[in-house]
């Protein structure tokens, strides 16, 4: 029996993966980095500590990882304040599930980005806990961020469901022992092997209901 639901943020509630991609690529090109086609997929699911280190080490940005992370967040927040890219049906889907279960967020976004999105969207009251992967030892596909979210919710992972869109997110939630509802990201679709690990696959947030989760 499901006792709590944990949402991913980017790609599930926000149409934002490509915005992260654009902001990091622009910064890399401005600073003389070696941006490449696989960089975004490589960084999907990484915590801010991990992807900023990647941009320093692999992309070749001269700034420290902390400086890289802070600048990416500053640019992202600027865009979100101008236009928050909420996916169609995000608010309604959260409301439907919050009527039945306590909700959490387990996101690879930085803490300040999570808080800003929930403030701007008006969704903050619906989430009992939020966890950024920068607050745990390892980002997705490691299960750490989901294990911490369920711990804070006071439920066991095997009685929790995760709503995910990416292969690293699906793998993370599955490794945590959760029921996984996948809504594949059309911009960066999960590979078939990862998608097979999901318990349920939906076409959009419109299909996300208590019945499909339970």
pLDDT digits (tens, 9 = 90+) for 133-187: 999 999 999 999 999 999 999 999 999 999 999 999 999 999 999 999 999 988 8
Report how far residue 186's alpha carbon sits from residue 15's, in angstroms, rounded to the nearest whole number.
10
What's the sign of the alpha-carbon dihedral 40, 41, 42, 44? positive
pTM: 0.93
Sequence ranges of the chain with CATH classification 1.10.150:
17-82
- Residue 45: pLDDT over 90: no
- CATH 3.40.50.1000 domain position(s) in the chain: 4-15+85-213
Q: Using CB atoms within 10 A of its CB, is residue 74 exposed (0-12), middle (13-18) or buried (19+)? A: exposed
Residue 94 · residue 88 · CB < 8 Å: no
* Token reading at 180: 């996984």
pLDDT value for 179: 98
Let me know the angle formed at the C-alpha of 114 by 29 and 112, rounded to the nearest 5 degrees: 70
Q: pLDDT of 52-98, one tens digit each? A: 999 999 999 999 999 999 999 999 999 999 999 999 999 999 999 99
Q: Are strands 160-164 and 179-182 parallel, antiparallel or unpaired?
A: parallel
In angstroms, the CA 191 to CA 113 distance is 27
What is the mean predicted confidence (pLDDT) over 115-127? 98
Counting residues of the chain whose pLDDT is more than 90, the rounded percentage is 91
Residues in the chain: 214
CA-closest candidate to residue 188, choices 31, 30, 3, 39: 39
CATH class of residue range 17-82: mainly alpha
In whole angstroms, what is the distance from residue 127 CA to residue 94 CA?
9
CATH 3.40.50.1000 for domain 4-15+85-213, yes or no, is: yes
């Amino acid at each position: 029996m499901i006792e709590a639901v944990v949402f991913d943020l980017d790609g599930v509630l926000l149409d934002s993966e490509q915005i992260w991609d654009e902001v990091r690529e622009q910064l890399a090109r401005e600073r003389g980095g070696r941006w490449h086609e696989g960089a975004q997929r490589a960084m999907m699911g990484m915590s801010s500590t991990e992807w900023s280190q990647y941009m320093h080490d692999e992309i070749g940005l001269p700034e420290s990882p902390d400086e890289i992370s802070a600048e990416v967040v500053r640019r992202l927040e600027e865009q979100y304040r101008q236009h928050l890219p909420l996916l169609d049906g995000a608010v309604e889907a959260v409301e439907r599930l919050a009527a039945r279960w306590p909700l959490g967020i387990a996101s690879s976004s930085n803490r300040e980005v999570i808080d800003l999105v929930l403030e701007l969207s008006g969704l903050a009251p619906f989430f009992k806990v939020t966890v950024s992967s920068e607050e745990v030892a390892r980002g997705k596909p490691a299960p750490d961020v989901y294990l911490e979210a369920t711990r804070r919710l006071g439920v066991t992972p095997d009685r929790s469901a995760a709503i995910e869109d990416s292969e690293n997110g699906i793998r993370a939630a599955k490794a945590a022992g959760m029921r996984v509802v996948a809504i594949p990201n059309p911009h960066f679709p999960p590979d078939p092997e990862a998608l097979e690990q999901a318990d349920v696959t939906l076409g959009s947030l419109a299909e996300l209901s208590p019945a499909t989760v339970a």
